[in-house]
Amino acid sequence: MLGNHHDAVIIGAGPAGSMTAYHLAKAGLRVALLEAKQFPRDKACGGGLLARTVQRVPIDLRPILRGAMHRVSVTLEMRDVHTRSSQSPLVYTVLRSEFDHYLMRAAEEAGATVLQGVRARGFETDDAGRATVFTDNGALGGDCLVGADGANSVVSRLLNARDNFYWQAAVYCEVPADLLNSSAVGWDCMNIDWGTFPSGYAWAFPKRDYVNIGAGGPIRIARHLRNYAAKFSRACGLVKSASIEGLHFTGHQLPSLTERTRVAAGNTLLVGDAAGLVDPFTGDGLCLAFRSAEIAASCIVEALGRGSRILDNYRQKLMADAASELRCARNLLSLSTIFPSLMYRLFRYNDRAWARFCRILQGTSSFVDLKSEILGPLRFASGLVDFVAERWERQALKRMVADDILRAL
Ligand SMILES: Cc1cc2nc3c(=O)[nH]c(=O)nc-3n(C[C@H](O)[C@H](O)[C@H](O)COP(=O)(O)OP(=O)(O)OC[C@H]3O[C@@H](n4cnc5c(N)ncnc54)[C@H](O)[C@@H]3O)c2cc1C
């Protein structure tokens, strides 16, 4: 055995796992946090942290923030740049290698036992829901098991088939300062391109010493993303022309929860990407990674205190908190696929839409508020709107792929 029996064994020390461990250790539980890699390690990510996320996190993130973005420059099909600004920051930036290490250390300082370089290979649960985790270094037992092992979660596979999630993909590159046209970089300004690609977008997030450039979109057009990100690097003018060829974009998949997703069974539950908590419209996964960690920890503390199972409590709370928000984000994604220039036009010409967008990023409004305002008295028809929007989205996407718009990239 790797150690004593624990109240909770958490697989994966990304933000979702470390923060679950942090909350549980703070509540006085015996927690083991297993991580396959040695930290600091890199992680495919833009490193954009919504302002609303920073406000919610119970630990001081200031030492680890690399930048604060107040301005957004948006292009439509890599042309017609338009910039808007906000008085307070909209998005902060982090380097995931530093950020994840910082959170893991916070969990350790709170009292969690962190085991790095230990990959979970298999699981067993007994009738009482207690889990045994098998690794190359031995086995480990816990009263409950938390899957925080990311988009390719092995714990999630115990509960879900692949089509229980809606899948997208994204590629990124952290471009170091020596490859940048420093005079062109607005260090408080993110660049976004919409409309070039059927759904999804390209981004450039500046952070001290680096600019993170990437692109994301539906899984069926994933193979075009590297090309798109490279073209966007040239179009936004932030990277020296001679360096663009040498940029290495690496990618990963992003799962979003659907009505089929199972986020818990018995005393096993999923947090972060393992539960599909990626916003399908913005690609933001950190916000709900933190939120799910908080909800999971409170359900575990409550259930272990009562000696009962955590399943229903967690599912209900998570769905109440996250599912409707993700549903609305999914509607926006459908809308932007059907009308590729819509987001750009709203951003450029509609002050109210811009103000609302800022408030969503800053946490004083949400996609759910937006949807109920748009639907007004037709709120009861929300399910029908979801159905129609997704059907149109699929057709729009099919048409664009068939028209070979992508080959032109
Ligand atoms: C290209 C790209 C750009 C993105 N940009 C943003 C962005 O700008 N902002 C944002 O909010 N979100 C972004 N996301 C999403 C974000 O990266 C994820 O939502 C977030 O990392 C989820 O955190 P997590 O803790 O659930 O999983 P992860 O961060 O993936 O952590 C999982 C951990 O589990 C470990 N692990 C995996 N399997 C095992 C195992 N068997 N045993 C032990 N350990 C294991 C891994 O090594 C890893 O450390 C982006 C994603 C991609 C792919």
Tens digit of each residue's pLDDT (9 = 90 or more) over 344-382: 998 999 998 899 999 999 999 888 787 777 666 656 666
Task: Tell me the CA–centroid distance for residue 149 and ligand 1, in Å.
Answer: 8
Task: Tell me the CA–centroid distance for residue 151 and ligand 1, in Å.
Answer: 7
The predicted-structure confidence for 183-197, as pLDDT tens digits, reads as follows 999 999 999 999 888
Decide: pTM greater than 0.75: yes
Mean pLDDT confidence for 76-84: 95
Q: Is 119 in the pocket of ligand 1 (CB under 6 A)?
A: yes
Task: Please give the pLDDT value at position 129.
Answer: 79
Task: Tell me the CA–centroid distance for residue 252 and ligand 1, in Å.
Answer: 9
The predicted-structure confidence for 328-353, as pLDDT tens digits, reads as follows 888 888 888 888 788 899 899 999 88
Mean pLDDT confidence for 154-175: 95
SS3 label, residue 208:
coil
Atom of ligand 1 nearest to the CA of 171: 1
Q: Is 44 in the pocket of ligand 1 (CB under 6 A)?
A: yes
Mean pLDDT confidence for 79-98: 96
Residues sharing a CB contact under 8 Å with residue 394, sequence separation 6 or more, in sequence order: none
Mutate to test the pocket of ligand 1, among 211, 273, 360 (most ligand atoms within 8 A of CB): 273
Residues sharing a CB contact under 8 Å with residue 144, sequence separation 6 or more, in sequence order: 7, 8, 9, 129, 130, 131, 267, 268, 269, 300, 303, 304, 310
Q: Report the range of poorest mean pLDDT among 29-38, 196-205, 320-329, 388-397.
A: 388-397
Distance between CA 258 and CA 269 in Å, rounded?
Answer: 16
Atom of ligand 1 nearest to the CA of 43: 29
Task: Please give the pLDDT value at position 60.
Answer: 94
Distance between CA 365 and CA 325 in Å, rounded?
Answer: 11
Alpha helix segments (H runs only) across 258-362: 286-306, 311-318, 324-338, 342-349, 351-362
The predicted-structure confidence for 222-271, as pLDDT tens digits, reads as follows 889 999 999 999 999 999 999 999 999 999 999 999 889 999 998 899 99
